[in-house]
Amino acid sequence: HGLDISNNPALLKTVSPRVAVFNNGARKGCHPAVTTTLRRLPEIQAIYQLHRNVTVGGAENTDPAFIANLDEKCQGESIHLAVAADGRSYTVTVGSKGKPRRYETRAA
């Protein structure tokens, strides 16, 4: 969700995600402190949001291309993640008309 109570900066730094997906609402989740912490992580490549956080400004949200529902009264768009059969990569697609973006997984 991107809630500040469940995304301790120490945990985020330890996990060091490459991609983050917020299953947030227009008025719940995607807290600016969490987004800021993620942006500072050296390996982060993308932050996705199910909804734009309408309670903060544009700078506190991720790139609009990575937000499935930009308006508070959303159209019910989703974020789709698909893992390659070999597990070496995955794609993330925003909304029904979004362009899939491919990311590499870490070597085991």
4-24 tens-digit pLDDT: 888 899 999 999 999 999 999
48-84 tens-digit pLDDT: 999 999 999 999 999 999 999 999 998 899 999 999 9
Q: What is the 3-state secondary structure (H, E, C) of the chain?
A: CCCHHHCCHHHHHHHCCCEEEECCCCCCCCCHHHHHHHHHCCCCCEEEEEECCCCCCHHHCCCHHHEEECCCCCCCCCEEEEECCCCCEEEEEECCCCCCEEEECCCC
pTM, two decimal places: 0.93
Q: Retrieve residue 41's tokens.
A: 């992580």
